Amino acid sequence: MKQTRSILIVLCLPFLFCTQGYAQHSGPYIGGFIGGNALMNAESSDALGSFELRFKPALQGSAVAGWDVAPGNSLGEGRIELEYTRRSNPLDRVKFVEGSFDGGGDVKADSLLLNFFGVLHGNSRWSPYAGVGIGAARIETSGLTVTGSPLGSGSATVFAYQLGAGIDVALTDYLNLDLGYRFFSSARPKLTEANGQTFAMDYVSHNAVLGLRVGF
């Protein structure tokens, strides 16, 4: 197994470090991403006061479909894409005024965003990019508990946005490797506690992603 990994790394090195340029793709593309998602501590509040939800990091997955803008376009160089992402983070701790207690269950977020990325193309395979996405997210709690007792449930669809940056690596004229970072946030969803009260929570996450895009 170690020998196989070493061979794969050696085979990939020429693609990653060669400075030969490729023709810039223009037109439609599709792609897929995987990554790590760190959901920040969520300040939450209900009619009785405030409490904090703390989560464990988890994996995420995305699918994109978009358009690479042709070189020389008056809009500039870059791409426009529609992105669907699924995130799910286990609840680790719940902090009240009285102290911090064990949590359970998950908070899931399904987002659909329209992204606008500007790309700085040069003479190498490496092209930095940055941009913004806007859209909506459906945030759902699944079996949230505190010390084994039910805490809350429900779902809400809210406005969402993200800021992104990264590096495109051209593997061929039509295949790109994408190494990126995404800051994702949403408006506060309003959910339901086990006692029937409504509570609102923050949703902010930091995401490192790795993906492939195929143009056609």
Q: pLDDT of 149-185, one tens digit each? A: 999 889 999 999 999 999 999 999 899 999 999 999 9
Residue with more model confidence, 189 or 20: 189
The pair of structure tokens assigned to 63 is 């699918």
pTM: 0.85
The pair of structure tokens assigned to 143 is 């079996």
Q: How many residues does the chain have?
A: 216
pLDDT of 4 higher than 70: no
Q: How confident is the model at residue 123, as a pLDDT? A: 82
Q: How far from 106 is each of 47, 56, 97, 137, CA to CA, in Å?
A: 23, 10, 22, 16
Return the DSSP state at 74.
T
How is the chain split into domains, by residue range? 26-215
Q: pLDDT of 92-133, one tens digit each? A: 999 998 899 999 999 999 999 999 999 988 788 899 999 999
Which range has the top average pLDDT, 11-20, 84-93, 139-148?
A: 84-93
Q: Which of 179, 83, 206 has the alpha carbon at shortest distance from 133? A: 83
- How many CB atoms lie under 10 A from the CB of residue 5? 9
**CATH class as words, domain 26-215:** mainly beta
Q: How confident is the model at residue 153, as a pLDDT? A: 86
pLDDT of 20 higher than 60: no
Q: pLDDT of 54-98, one tens digit each? A: 999 999 999 999 999 877 776 678 999 999 999 999 999 999 988
